[in-house]
């Protein structure tokens, strides 16, 4: 784990739960194929990546084999957040052959998904290198892997938005309509959870002015043109942070990197990931 984990509540508990559930859905009442192997057979295995990536997932691998077989040894060749090239060895396993093969798919599923997330985040972070812009993830994560993907985003060099619905306010169009306007929504937010960050999503410069007057901490500009964004930055200077969201892909990110916005958020960090191609090869210790 890296120091970044301090920003993600319940991560350790979530790792245990996610691994437990993944093993249960895969193994069921027993790995019948592993029973083809003598129970006392010892083996070694090597896991490689078939493509360049930013690695993430050590704690999940260790938890898989801790729950399956605490005697099995994991030998690491990389750390979370490390850039690795194709055909590099990520880690080795040594111990009971049945345990290695039973846990293989669960362990690789976590690594391929989290490394895919970290690799995507690293590509986005590179596009704003040299600026003060922070690229944020969203809640558009794989169900059950919220904190895992949030951690992977940090490993890739981007930052986390709120973890869930409980740690910060994000007041959007429907909230505004149901609460009776931006001013009412922001005022109630400060009353409900004093000290919590209050962010308002706006679709026009008029709504931006309302959010500023109401005392929002962060204002999210939804589908603003570059001209509108420039005016919004002038209006908000010294009063609120500005976040850009909506249709943010790599090409758009390059365009936005020249603007003096504080944050750019993109669901693509976690929902458009492509799993990294990994391979495990077993060698029997005869």
Written as six digits, the tokens of 48 are: 């490689």
22 with 84, same domain?
A: yes
Annotated catalytic residue: which of 44, 140, 239, 241?
Answer: 140
The two beta strands, 263-265 and 134-136, are: parallel
Structural domains in the chain (count): 2
Annotated catalytic residue: which of 51, 92, 222, 262?
Answer: 222
- Is 150 a catalytic site residue? no
Cα–Cα dist 78/54, whole Å: 10
Percent of the chain scored above 70 by pLDDT?
95
108 with 137, same domain?
A: no
Angle, helices 146-155 vs 97-127, to 10°: value is: 60
12 with 86, same domain?
A: yes
- pLDDT of amino acid 3: 41
68 with 138, same domain?
A: no
- pLDDT of amino acid 163: 95
Q: What is the pLDDT of residues 213-244, one digit of tens each?
A: 999 999 999 888 888 999 999 999 999 999 99
181 with 280, same domain?
A: no
- Is 140 a catalytic site residue? yes
- Is 241 a catalytic site residue? no
| 136: CATH | 3.20.20.70
Annotated catalytic residue: which of 80, 137, 199, 201?
Answer: 201
230 with 279, same domain?
A: no
| 119: CATH | 3.90.1170.20
* Residue 197 burial by Cβ neighbours in a 10 Å radius (0-12, 13-18, 19+): middle
Annotated catalytic residue: which of 44, 105, 239, 241?
Answer: 105
Residue 185 in this model has a pLDDT that exceeds 90: yes
175 with 243, same domain?
A: yes
Name 216's bridge partners: none
85 with 146, same domain?
A: no
Q: What is the pTM of this model?
A: 0.93
134 with 87, same domain?
A: no
Q: What is the pLDDT of residues 56-87, one digit of tens each?
A: 999 999 999 999 999 999 999 999 999 999 99
145 with 261, same domain?
A: yes
Mean pLDDT of the chain: 93
- Is 172 a catalytic site residue? yes
Residues 6+ apart with CB under 8 A from 216: 171, 182, 186, 198, 199, 200, 240
Q: What is the pLDDT of residues 23-68, one digit of tens each?
A: 999 999 999 999 999 999 999 999 999 999 999 999 999 999 999 9
- Is 222 a catalytic site residue? yes
134 with 249, same domain?
A: yes
- pLDDT of amino acid 285: 56
Domain limits for position 213? 130-271
Strand, helix or coil at 81? coil
Interval 139-154 mean pLDDT = 97
**For residue 29, how many other CB atoms are within 10 A of its CB?**
5
**For residue 101, how many other CB atoms are within 10 A of its CB?**
19
139 with 166, same domain?
A: yes
């Amino acid at each position: 784990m890296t120091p970044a984990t301090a920003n993600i509540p319940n991560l350790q508990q979530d790792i245990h739960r996610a691994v437990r559930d993944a093993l249960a859905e895969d193994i069921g009442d027993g790995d019948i194929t592993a029973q083809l192997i003598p129970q006392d057979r010892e083996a070694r295995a090597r896991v490689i990546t078939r493509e360049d990536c930013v690695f993430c997932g050590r704690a999940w691998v260790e938890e898989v084999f801790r729950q399956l077989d605490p005697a099995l040894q994991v030998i690491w060749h990389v750390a979370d957040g490390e850039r690795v090239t194709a055909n590099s060895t990520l880690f080795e396993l040594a111990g009971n052959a049945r345990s290695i093969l039973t846990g293989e798919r669960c362990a690789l599923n976590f690594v391929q998904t989290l490394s895919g997330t970290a690799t995507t985040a690293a590509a986005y972070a590179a596009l704003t290198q040299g600026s003060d812009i922070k690229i944020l993830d969203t809640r558009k994560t794989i169900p059950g892997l919220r904190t895992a993907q949030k951690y992977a985003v940090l490993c890739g060099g981007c930052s986390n938005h709120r973890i869930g619905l409980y740690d910060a306010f994000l007041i959007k169009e429907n909230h505004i309509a149901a609460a009776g306007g931006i001013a009412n929504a922001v005022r109630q937010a400060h009353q409900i959870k004093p000290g919590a960050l209050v962010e308002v999503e706006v679709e026009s410069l008029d709504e931006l002015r309302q959010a500023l007057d109401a005392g929002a901490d962060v204002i999210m500009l939804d589908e603003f043109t570059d001209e509108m964004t420039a005016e919004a930055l002038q209006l908000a200077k010294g009063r609120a942070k500005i976040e850009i969201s909506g249709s943010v892909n790599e090409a758009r990110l390059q365009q936005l990197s020249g603007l003096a916005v504080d944050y750019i958020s993109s669901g693509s960090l976690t929902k458009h990931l492509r799993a990294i191609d990994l391979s495990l090869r077993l060698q029997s210790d005869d």
